[in-house]
């Protein structure tokens, strides 16, 4: 959303990559849909309650993460692995992309990928999954005329994480 939502130190290259991914460039000749999407992005980026939630998540995670650049690179790798499934409209699910996503989070936190870790991780990424963030990434896709963004792939991964830890419901009694 903005540089202010990044409180952990990152390299200039990683910061530039993040901004490029999160803030689409306006096209030279935007369609009416793209103009509306950019206007909505601008309004959403100014939503202070959303920014506060993202900052709180980032601050909580900053104390737990040893290397923010490593985390962002690993998440990018996981998003790249997830992109074909997102593009194909496949539902979120377990697999190599989710395993990479969880592995990088575990690595930078000095943890192992366990069911307990996955439960904690889902809480750590909760602010990324709120409806306004989902809307933000839909707008980025519309504004940039990009069907799949790193943001939509990231959401697919966090939804996959949720499904990977979901408890099966008990069988109904007959």
Tell me the per-residue pLDDT of 108-153, one tens digit each, with 9 for 90 and over: 999 999 999 999 999 888 888 889 889 999 999 999 888 899 999 9
Distance CA 44, CA 1 (A): 9
Residue 78's pLDDT is: 97
> What are the domain boundaries of the chain?
30-165
C-alpha dihedral, 120 to 50 to 9 to 73, nearest 10°: 60
Residue 174's pLDDT is: 43
Phi and psi dihedrals of 100, rounded to 5? -65, -45
Helix (H), strand (E) at residue 148: none
Per-residue pLDDT, averaged over 31-42, amounts to: 92
Query: Could you report the per-residue pLDDT of 57-108, keeping only the tens digit for each?
Result: 777 777 788 788 899 899 999 999 999 999 999 999 999 999 999 999 999 9
Per-residue pLDDT, averaged over 29-47, amounts to: 90
- Reading the block at residue 148, the tokens are 């799949």
Distance CA 129, CA 58 (A): 14
- Reading the block at residue 116, the tokens are 């307990």
- Reading the block at residue 51, the tokens are 């920014």
């Amino acid at each position: 959303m903005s540089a202010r939502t990044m409180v952990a130190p990152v390299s200039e290259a990683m910061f530039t990559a993040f901004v490029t991914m999160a803030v689409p460039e306006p096209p030279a000749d935007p369609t009416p849909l793209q103009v509306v999407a950019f206007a909505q992005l601008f309004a959403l980026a100014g939503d202070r309650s959303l920014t506060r939630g993202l900052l709180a998540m980032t601050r909580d995670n900053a104390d737990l993460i040893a290397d923010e650049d490593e985390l962002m690179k690993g998440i990018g790798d996981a998003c790249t692995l997830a992109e074909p499934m997102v593009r194909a409209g496949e539902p979120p699910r377990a697999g190599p992309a989710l395993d990479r996503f969880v592995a990088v989070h575990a690595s930078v936190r000095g943890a192992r990928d366990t069911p307990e870790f996955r439960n904690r991780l889902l809480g750590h990424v909760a602010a990324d999954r709120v409806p306004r963030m989902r809307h933000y990434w839909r707008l980025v896709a519309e504004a940039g005329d990009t069907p799949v963004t790193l943001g939509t792939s990231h959401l697919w991964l966090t939804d996959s994480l949720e499904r990977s830890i979901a408890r099966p419901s008990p069988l109904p009694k007959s």
